[in-house]
Amino acid sequence: MSSNTPTSSSGGAGSADSSAARRNSKRPKYSRFTQQELPACKPILTPRWVISAFMLVSIVFIPIGVASLFASRDVVEIVDRYETECVPTRFRDDKVQYIQSAEDKSCNRTITVPKRMKRPIYVYYQLDNFYQNHRRYVKSRSDKQLRSNESADDVSTCDPEDRTPGQNPIVPCGLIAWSLFNDTYSFSRNNQSLAVNKKGISWKSDREHKFGKDVFPKNFQNGTLRGGASLNENVSLSEQEDLIVWMRTAALPTFRKLYGKIEVDLEANDVIDVALNNYYNTYSFDGKKKLVLSTTSWLGGKNDFMGIAYLTVGGLCFFLAMAFTIVYLIKPRYFSNYKDLTYLTVYDLNE
């Protein structure tokens, strides 16, 4: 790279002109801008630069990749898929009917801890084929209503779950709130119950700014069709953290949401009994339900993606750097003069 030093052959003379002589002259004034001589660096991707760039990327990326992969490996994650197992065998042919019936929905699952899990252990539920990002779904909420009690009537965007048949506004309105997930989990180890802390599972900004302390559920789930969980009408929305978590809609049709935290360590080979109530209807659209117990690292949950991506890119760059170096050593390339101009050899106008 080199920096351009503008010449003064034309410019110097121009700027040195006395202004008197120039009064009638249409001679353009010299400036680096108009003469297009602004100092510039001229990056040229010569082989050397290409190879160095690749080397640099691989040197930076491979350690990051290794670090994140280790972080991800440290995380212990238990996934239990239960949507089929929790349907009694006799109902397995028509799960939708089962879930909509008044049958007992309780279900017991057993999970073995493969490795020691340090607290806090996060409990997630994971849904599949659930389009929380569908346009009709995403917009069916009223942020104003959620935020303050005065806007309780602001349900214009909540169609079709805006008002009760008696035209009373539903709080919280909209499809999102209406379809609130309502499976419940309780855990016990050796018949000793493990408390699930449901506080602090939502982002603080949501809790404090988006859901009002003075907003209480009203007319919720009073319709003919129940979409999901009901809410305690005596608890303000800002404390209904399940709702807050649910209403931060997911980006993809497969998503995890935080259910709660277990604030004790779990030892390897511990057997955890999960008593769950399988209320939520994912059967009509063939959605899966999973229960996830996971620890976290500095990087978050178990996710090899980042580490693998970094390692792959770093490795690829290293490989490319090597390959280019070999080519460069075997067949060095430099231009010296006119004869290299391609037009001399492959000039074809009809191209």
Partner 1 sequence: MFRRILATKNSRQNGVVSTTIVRIRSEDIRFNGLVLSSDRASSAKKMSGWERLRPSTARLGRDSYSSMTERIPSSRTVRLGRVQPQAPGHRTIYCNDRDANLPVKFKGNSISTTKYSFFTFLPKGLFEQFRRVANLYFLTISILSTTPISPVSPITNVLPLSLVLIVSLVKEAFEDWKRFQNDMAINNNPVEVLHDQKWETIPWKKLQVGDVVRIKQDGFFPADLLFLASTNPDGVCYIETANLDGETNLKIRKALEKTWDYLTPEKASEFKGEVQCEQPNNSLYTFAGNLIIQKQTLPLTPNQVLLRGCSLRNTEYIVGAVLFSGHETKVMMNAMNVPSKRSTLERKLDKLILTLFGTLFVMCLIGAIGSGVFIDRKYFYLGLFEDVENQFNPDKPFVVAILTMFTLITLYSTIIPISLYVSIEMIKFIQSTQFINKDLHMYHVETNTPALARTSNLNEELGQVEYIFSDKTGTLTRNLMEFFKCSIGGEVYGTGVTEIERGVAQRRGIKIDEGQESTNVVHEKGFNFDDARLMRGAWRNEPNPDLCKEFFRCLAICHTVLPEGDESAERVTYQAASPDEAALVTAAKNFGFFFYRRTPTTIYVRESHLEKMGKVQDVSYEILNVLEFNSTRKRQSVVCRYPDGRLVLYCKGADTVIYERLAVGQDDIKKVSREHLEQFGSSGLRTLCLAYRDLSSDMYESWNEKFIQAKSSLRDREKKLDEVLIKMRMKWLKTDCGFMQVAELIEAELILIGCTAIEDKLQEGVPACIETLSRAGIKIWMLTGDKMETAINIAYACNLINNDMKQFIINSETDAIREVESRGDQVEIARFIKEEVKKELKKCLEEAQHFLHTVAAPKLALVIDGKCLMYALDPSLRVMLLNLSLNCCSVVCCRVSPLQKAQVTSMVKKGAKKITLSIGDGANDVSMIQAAHVGIGISGQEGMQAVMASDFAIAQFRFLTDLLLVHGRWSYLRLCKVITYFFYKNLTFTLTQFWFTFQTGFSGQRFYDDWFQSLYNVIFTALPVIMVGLFDKDVSASLSKKYPEIYREGIRNVFFKWRVVAIWAFFSVYQSLIFYFFVSDSSSNAQNSSGKMFGLWDVSTMAFTCVVVTVNLRLLLMCNSITRWHYISVGGSILAWFIFIFIYSGIMTPYDRQENVFFVIYVLMSTFYFYLTLALVPIVALLGDFIYQGVQRWFFPYDYQIVQEIHMHEPEGRTRTELLEIGNQLTPDEARSYAIAQLPRELSKHTGFAFDSPGYESFFAAQLGVFAPQKAWDVARRASMKSRPKIGQRK
SS3 261: strand
Angle between helices 304-330 and 47-74 (to 10 degrees): 160
Report the distance separating Cα 283 and Cα 276, nearest Å: 17
- Single out the residue of 91, 255, 279, 318 in contact with partner 1 (rule: CB under 8 A): 255
Q: Which residue has the tokens 């991506």?
A: 309
Q: Is 315 in the site for partner 1 (CB under 8 A)?
A: no
Least separation in angstroms between residue 172's CB and partner 1 is 14
Smallest separation, CB 84 to partner 1 (Å): 17
144 is a contact residue toward partner 1 (CB under 8 A): yes
Q: Which residue's CB is nearer to partner 1, number 50 or number 107?
A: 50
With binding defined as CB under 8 A, does residue 341 bind partner 1?
yes
Stretch that binds partner 1, among 87-95, 109-117, 184-192, 311-319 (CB under 8 A): 311-319
# residues near partner 1 by CB under 8 A: 119
Which part of the chain contacts partner 1 (CB under 8 A), choosing from 101-109, 125-133, 185-193, 231-239? 125-133
Q: Residue 194: in which H helix or E strand, if any?
A: strand 192-194
Instruction: Report the distance separating Cα 310 and Cα 209, nearest Å.
Output: 36
The region of 81-89, 123-131, 163-171, 212-220 touching partner 1 under the rule CB under 8 A is 123-131
Restricting to residues 33-92, which ones interact with partner 1 according to CB under 8 A?
33-47, 50, 53, 57, 61, 64, 68
Return all residues near 317 (Cβ < 8 A) that are at least 6 apart.
54, 55, 57, 58, 61
Q: Applying CB under 8 A, which part among 83-91, 108-116, 124-132, 231-239 lies near partner 1? A: 124-132
Contacts of 250 (CB under 8 A, 6+ apart): 132, 133, 257
- Phi, psi dihedral angles at 300 (to 5 degrees): 110, -150
Is 143 near partner 1 (CB under 8 A)?
yes
Distance CA 141, CA 136 (A): 10
CA distance 25 to 22: 5
- The upper half-sphere exposure of residue 79, i.e. CA atoms within 13 Å in the direction of its Cβ, equals 10
231 is a contact residue toward partner 1 (CB under 8 A): no
Taking the C-alpha atoms of residue 105 and residue 351, their distance in angstroms, rounded to an integer, is 73
Only one of the segments 79-87, 109-117, 156-164, 231-239 lies at the binding site for partner 1 (rule: CB under 8 A); that segment is: 156-164
Q: Does 310 bind partner 1 (CB under 8 A)?
A: yes
Looking at residue 293, the DSSP 8-state letter turns out to be: E
* Residue 189-208 contact track with partner 1, rule CB under 8 A, x = bound: ------------xxx-xx--
321 binds partner 1 (CB under 8 A): no
Q: Is residue 301 involved in binding partner 1 (CB under 8 A)?
A: yes
Q: Which two tokens stand for residue 178?
A: 């209406």
- Closest approach, Cβ 111 to partner 1, in A, equals 18
